[in-house]
Structure 1
Amino acid sequence: MVERVVDGDTLEVQVDGRTERVRLIGVDTPEVHGQVEPYGPEASAFTKQVLAPGTRIWLEQDVEPRDRYGRLLAYVWLADGRLFNEVLVREGYAQLLTIPPNVKYVERLTAAQREAREAGRGLWALADAASPAQPAPATGAGNEKAGARHATGTPALRYDPNGPDRDCDDFATQAEAQAFFEAAGGPARDPHGLDRDGDGVACESLP
């Protein structure tokens, strides 16, 4: 049962009497925390509308059960039999984010994204919509953003967020630094020290 929605692709649910945070497999919605991205609020509102507190859902897991943050990784099935991960992509609220080995429904999600893009739905209607994300390299269990490119124009990562230490001089723009910062665990974690004042925004001096 749904307890609350954190953002477009993350929610908290009751599982066996305890609260678990769930990250939807195979999808990525624009951010609403820290640096708000275009269409992020709309995606979050849609998920909150469909998955209101008390909504009964069914969770299906894939090969990797959790990501490196301890979140459950799952496909969410609705009472009417629809796969919510697929609904998000088909309606243009999320972009495909494929990270092996959790690829059970990659063909369905790919087809849903193609349909959304061709119809110009949601984030695909944005003027700066980028090409669909390519399958990202597995940098560890979970739905990470490393190697992906947002439909809203977030830069692809040049550096491995789990690799050598980086500082603000390594990035050309604040947006690039922010994408790296979030992929490395920000704002909850900042192993590279890019957010000195702890406000969730990395390398604020960059253009």
Structure 2
Amino acid sequence: MLGLLVAFGGLGALREEPDRKSATSETAPSSVPATEPLTSAAPQPSVPSEPRDVTSQPGTSPPTPSTPPTTKPPPDTTPPGAVVLRVIDGDTIQVRGDGRIVPKGTVARVRLLEIDTPERGACFADAATARTTELLPPGSSVRIQRDAELTDRYDRYLLYVWNEQGTFVNEALAGSGHAEDVLFPPNDKYWPVISQAEDTARQTVAGLWAACPETTKPSAPDTPTRPDLPDGPPVGVPDVDCSDLPGPVWVGPEDPHRLDRDGDGIGCDTN
């Protein structure tokens, strides 16, 4: 009997051994030995990153400078310019002052500096007046600039004029052949510009250079009789038109302002 019990006990032990091995294999991880502890990776020393050049990166903007450059002028707070009231002829207009050069509200005649257009009734005079009216229509505002001498003996303002579109009218009239250049020192600020414009008009035979071929002025009498008339404008005065004078004047054979169209020594005596 005792032998049978021992035999059964050994058999039971043999049957339990595989069960324990199976349980052990299910609980132990397959990739890490059960006897070795898990360790974390050692921290890597931090390496300072190189500064990026943001201007070379697409889609980025350069850093804002401490003092940003001005991209546009500040708003213009000055009052509106002088207003054109009428065009007298190709080189003379009438304006109402805005208070900067011409007193505010003052109605004044303005003689465009450094140019001369044909006299009323002369060749191309009407075309010159029409072109000035096109550039300076009545009611429009103008920007005006003075030179060394502001007015002449006839109380005209001697000025450079820009229209609302920014066109330098003095230069434009010379450049299109509607005016000749004429210099009366010391007002010579834009003489190089205006004289160059006239040279171009001459070379291209524009405007009056094509329409008005040169003619020989009739000879004055050998001993002209001096009529009882006031003297005309002297040499050196900024160019004068007949519209600036009250009536006929004596200009003699020289006629520096080209007021005598028939060569008799009397200026502004014809209509």
Shorter-normalised TM range: 0.5 to 0.7
Counterpart secondary structure, 2:174: helix
* Whole-angstrom CA distance in 2 between matches of 1:142 and 1:158: 16
AA in 1 matched with 2:134: Q
Task: Determine whether 1:21 maps to 2:109.
Answer: yes
- For residues 157 and 116 of structure 1, do their structure 2 counterparts lie closer, same or farther at Cα, with a shift above 3 Å needed? farther
Higher gyration radius (CA): 2
Give the counterpart letter for 1:24 in structure 2: L
Paired residue type of 1:201:
T
The answer as to whether partners of 1:67 and 1:140 remain within 8 angstroms in 2 is no
Local SS of the residue matching 1:89: helix
Q: Which residue of 2 aligns with 1:106?
A: 191
Specify the alignment match of 1:143 in structure 2: 239
Question: Residue 41 in 1 paired to residue 129 in 2?
Answer: no
Q: CA deviation at 1:69?
A: 0.8
Once the two structures are superposed, residues 13-53 of structure 1 have per-residue CA deviations (whole angstroms, 9 ceiling, x without a partner) of 00011200001000000011xxx100000000111122111
SS at match of 1:4: strand
Per the alignment, residue 123 of structure 1 pairs with 208
Residues 1:181 and 1:86: Cα distance change in structure 2 (over 3 Å): same
Task: Render the CA deviation track for 1:69-127: whole Å, top value 9, x for unaligned.
Answer: 11100000122322100000000100011111111111001110011111111001135
1:2–1:175 Cα change, 3 Å: same
Q: Which amino acid aligns with 1:54?
A: G
Residues 121-164 of structure 1 show CA distances to partners (whole Å, capped at 9, x for unaligned) of 1001135248xxxxxxx84553348xxxxxxxxxx952679xxx
Change (3 A) 1:79 1:66: same
Q: How many residues align?
A: 154
Considering Cα pairs closer than 8 Å and 6+ residues apart, tell me whether 1 or 2 has the greater RCO.
Answer: 1
- For structure 2, the 5+ residue unaligned runs are 1-82, 98-103, 216-233, 242-251
3-state SS of the aligned residue for 2:88? Answer: strand
Q: What is the percentage of aligned positions where both structures have the same residue?
A: 34
Contact residue 128 and residue 179 of structure 2 kept, 8 A: yes
> Which amino acid in 2 is paired with 1:31?
E
Q: d(CA) in 1 for partners of 2:136 and 2:255? A: 35
Aligned match of 1:5: 87
The answer to whether structure 1 residue 53 and structure 2 residue 141 are counterparts is no
Deviation at 1:175? 2.4
2:177 is the counterpart of 1:92: yes
Bigger drift between 67-76 and 118-127 goes to 118-127
Cα pair 1:64 1:141 within 8 Å, conserved: no
Maintained 8 Å contact 2:135/2:163:
no
CA distance in 2, matches of 1:174, 1:40: 13
What one-letter code is carried by the residue in structure 2 that aligns with 1:18?
T
- The amino acid that maps onto 1:29 is T
Provide structure 1 residue ranges, at least 5 long, that are not aligned to the other structure: 131-137, 146-155, 162-172, 183-199, 203-207
Preserved CA contact (<8 Å) 1:64 1:142: no
